[in-house]
Amino acid sequence: MDASDLLNTIWPRAAAAAERLWSPVDVTDPVSALPRLERFRCLLNSRGIDAAPTNNPIARQGPPNPGGCYVQ
């Protein structure tokens, strides 16, 4: 990892950690969190942060084109 992919890696992971920390203890279903994480990624992209897709196994690629955050 270097500075070129720091933001697109850190923000989605930070959002996942925040989701876990701010959710009630009995909320453990990751599928229910996915829509919120995908929306957050779109917000990051709209603000100029090339956040990696939430279902990207290598977590290093930005969106392929404008509006690409809506198709993952």
- At residue 3, the pLDDT reads 66
Arithmetic mean of pLDDT, 52-62: 64
CA 19, 67, 63 angle in degrees (round to 5)? 65
Is pTM beyond 0.75 here?
Answer: no
Q: What is the pLDDT of residue 49?
A: 81
Checking if the pLDDT of 23 tops 70, the result is yes
Query: Is residue 57 pLDDT above 70, yes or no?
Result: no
| Per-residue pLDDT, 69 | 65
What own/partner pairs with CB < 8 Å and gap ≥ 24 does 53-60 have?
Answer: 54/12, 59/9, 59/12, 59/13, 60/5, 60/8, 60/9
